[in-house]
C-alpha cells in the first residue's frame, strides 16, 4: 500500500479527466480548423480570435476560483459595462486616462465588495445576489452614460488594446493576460488559499471546522472578480474603441459557459484553471471557425448551447469512467433518522 506517487495518483483518480478531454478537444478543433477552414490559420484571424476571446478569458480567471469555492458572480458583464461607461463619462468630462483607469478598477473593487458582503455577511445565495446586481450595475451604467458612445480614446491605448505584436498572431493584450493567468494558476493550485477554496466548495461546513476562514476567502474572491470585470470593461472599450452602457452585455453567460465547459464543477470543489482556459478558447475558436464557414448566427447559438449541455454532462461521465476500476463502496446506512429535516448545520 501507500504508493502515493503522483503518477499512480493520476492513473487512479484521473485516468480520464475532463480538463484533459477539453484540452484534446481544443487541439482537435485547432488542427481541423487549420486544415479545413479557409482563413483560419492566418495571423490576423488568429489575433482576432484571441483578442475577441480575451474578455471572456480575463473574467474566467477569477470566475473559476469563485465557482470552485461554490459561488458564482453573474454581475461581471454589468460591472464591465459600468466600468466602460464610467470611463467614457469621465473621458468626456476631460479627465486624464491615466486617472480614469485606476478609478474604473477601484469601482470594480467596490462592485465586487458589494456582492461579496451581501453574500458573506447576509448569507444570501450568490446566484440571486448577482442577478440583482447584474441589473443594478447595468442600470447605473445607463444613468452614467445614457445612450452615448465614447470613441475618441487616446490612440496609444486603442492601439495597445486592438493591435498585435508585429505581424504575429499575438495581440499585445495577450501578454498581460498570460501574466494574470500565471498568477491565477499559482493562487488556485499552489497556495494554501487556493487549496482551501476546493474544500470550501466541496464542503463548506468541513472547511469551517478545519479553521478555514470561509467568509473572508469568499469576500476576497468577489472583490477580485469585480476588479477583473472592471479591467475587462476598460479593455473592451479600448479594444472596440467604443464605451457604451451596453458593452459586454450577456458576457457573463459566455464566461460561465466556458468555465463549466472547462470542467469546473458547478457544485464547487472541482476543476483546474487549465481546463477553464481551454474551455474559453474552445468556445472562442469554435465560434470563429463557424463564422468563417458562414454558419448562421442561429446555428452557432445552437451549437454553443449543445456544447454547454455536454459541458455539464461530460465531466460527470468522465468521472464515472475514471472511477470505474475502483469500486465505489456504498457507505453503511447512517445510524439515525434520514429525511429532509436533518439536524441544523
Residue 149 lies near other proteins (rule: CB under 8 A): no
DSSP letter for 146, please.
Answer: T
Q: Give yes or no for a contact between 286 and 307, defined as CB atoms under 8 angstroms apart.
A: yes
Rg (CA), the chain: 21
Which residue number, 186 or 312, has a Cβ lying nearer to other proteins?
Answer: 186
> Least CB distance from residue 278 to other proteins, whole Å?
22
Q: How many residues bind other proteins (CB under 8 A)?
A: 49
> Least CB distance from residue 87 to other proteins, whole Å?
34
**Region of 247 on the Ramachandran plot (φ > 0 left; ψ -120 to 50 alpha; else beta):** beta
Coil, strand or helix at 150: strand
Select the residue interacting with other proteins from 122, 192, 250, 309 (CB under 8 A).
192
Among residues 326, 319, 273, the alpha carbon closest in space to that of 16 is found at 319
| CB count in 10 Å sphere of residue 167 | 8
C-alpha cell at 111: 462592485
Which x/- pattern over 267-286 shows residues binding other proteins (rule: CB under 8 A)?
--xx----------------
Residue 9 lies near other proteins (rule: CB under 8 A): yes
Among residues 82, 88, 108, the alpha carbon closest in space to that of 100 is found at 88
Query: Mind giving me the DSSP string for 62-91?
Result: HHHHHHHTT---S-HHHHHHHHHHHHHHHH
Among residues 274, 283, 105, the alpha carbon closest in space to that of 184 is found at 274
Which residue number, 250 or 340, has a Cβ lying nearer to other proteins?
Answer: 340
Residue 35 lies near other proteins (rule: CB under 8 A): no
Between CA 152 and CA 27 the distance in angstroms is 39
Residue 191 lies near other proteins (rule: CB under 8 A): yes
C-alpha cell at 137: 450595475
> Least CB distance from residue 76 to other proteins, whole Å?
27
Which residue number, 14 or 139, has a Cβ lying nearer to other proteins?
Answer: 14
Select the residue interacting with other proteins from 34, 143, 205, 253 (CB under 8 A).
205
Select the residue interacting with other proteins from 44, 175, 190, 253 (CB under 8 A).
190
Helix, strand and coil percent figures for the chain, each rounded to 5: 70, 0, 30
Select the residue interacting with other proteins from 167, 294, 298, 335 (CB under 8 A).
335
What are the C-alpha distances in Å from 342 to residues 61, 209, 336, 338?
36, 18, 10, 7
> Which stretch in 150-158, 254-262, 285-293, 335-343 sits in contact with other proteins by CB under 8 A?
335-343
Select the residue interacting with other proteins from 153, 198, 235, 240 (CB under 8 A).
198
Residue 3 lies near other proteins (rule: CB under 8 A): yes
Which x/- pattern over 157-186 shows residues binding other proteins (rule: CB under 8 A)?
-----------------------------x
> Which stretch in 41-49, 133-141, 204-212, 272-280 sits in contact with other proteins by CB under 8 A?
204-212
Between CA 186 and CA 296 the distance in angstroms is 40
C-alpha cell at 88: 467614457
Q: What are phi and psi of 113, to 5 degrees?
A: -60, -40
Which residues 315-334 are close enough to bind other proteins by CB under 8 A? 326-334
Residue 123 lies near other proteins (rule: CB under 8 A): no
Which residue number, 218 or 270, has a Cβ lying nearer to other proteins?
Answer: 270
Residue 27 lies near other proteins (rule: CB under 8 A): no
Residue 309 lies near other proteins (rule: CB under 8 A): no
> Which stretch in 3-11, 38-46, 109-117, 155-163 sits in contact with other proteins by CB under 8 A?
3-11
- Show Cβ contacts of residue 255 under 8 Å, excluding neighbours closer than 6 positions: 56, 59, 60, 63, 76, 77
Residues that bind other proteins (CB under 8 A): 1-4, 6, 8-9, 12-13, 186, 190-192, 195-196, 198-199, 202-203, 205-213, 269-270, 326-343, 345
Amino acid at each position: 500500500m501507500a504508493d502515493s506517487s503522483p503518477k499512480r495518483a493520476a492513473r487512479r483518480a484521473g485516468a480520464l479527466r475532463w480538463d484533459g478531454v477539453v484540452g484534446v478537444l481544443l487541439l482537435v478543433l485547432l488542427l481541423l480548423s487549420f486544415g479545413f477552414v479557409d482563413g483560419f490559420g492566418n495571423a490576423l484571424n488568429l489575433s482576432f480570435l484571441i483578442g475577441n476571446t480575451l474578455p471572456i478569458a480575463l473574467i474566467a480567471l477569477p470566475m473559476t476560483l469563485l465557482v470552485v469555492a461554490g459561488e458564482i458572480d453573474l454581475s461581471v458583464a454589468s460591472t464591465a459595462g459600468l466600468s466602460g461607461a464610467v470611463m467614457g463619462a469621465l473621458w468626456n468630462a476631460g479627465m486624464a486616462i491615466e486617472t480614469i483607469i485606476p478609478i474604473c478598477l477601484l469601482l470594480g473593487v467596490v462592485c465586487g465588495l458589494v456582492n461579496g458582503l451581501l453574500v458573506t455577511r447576509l448569507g444570501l445565495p450568490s446566484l440571486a445576489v448577482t442577478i440583482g446586481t447584474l441589473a443594478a450595475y447595468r442600470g447605473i451604467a445607463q444613468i452614467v452614460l445614457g445612450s452615448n458612445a465614447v470613441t475618441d480614446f487616446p490612440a496609444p491605448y486603442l492601439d495597445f488594446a486592438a493591435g498585435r505584436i508585429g505581424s504575429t498572431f499575438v495581440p499585445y493584450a495577450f501578454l498581460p493576460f498570460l501574466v494574470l493567468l500565471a498568477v491565477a494558476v499559482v493562487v488556485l493550485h499552489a497556495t494554501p488559499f487556493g487549496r482551501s477554496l476546493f474544500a470550501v466548495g466541496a464542503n463548506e461546513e468541513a472547511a469551517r471546522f478545519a479553521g478555514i476562514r470561509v467568509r473572508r476567502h469568499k469576500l476576497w474572491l468577489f472583490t477580485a472578480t469585480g476588479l477583473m470585470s472592471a479591467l475587462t470593461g476598460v479593455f473592451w472599450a479600448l479594444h472596440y474603441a467604443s464605451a457604451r452602457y451596453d458593452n459586454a452585455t450577456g458576457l457573463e453567460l459566455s464566461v460561465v459557459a466556458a468555465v463549466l465547459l472547462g470542467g469546473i464543477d458547478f457544485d464547487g470543489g472541482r476543476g483546474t484553471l487549465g481546463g477553464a482556459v481551454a474551455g474559453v478558447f474552445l468556445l472562442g475558436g469554435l465560434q470563429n471557425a463557424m463564422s468563417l464557414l458562414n454558419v448562421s448566427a442561429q446555428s452557432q447559438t445552437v451549437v454553443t448551447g449543445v456544447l454547454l449541455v455536454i459541458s455539464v454532462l461530460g465531466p460527470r461521465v468522465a468521472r464515472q469512467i475514471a472511477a470505474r476500476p475502483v469500486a465505489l463502496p456504498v457507505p453503511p446506512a447512517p445510524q439515525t433518522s434520514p429525511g429532509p429535516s436533518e439536524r441544523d448545520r
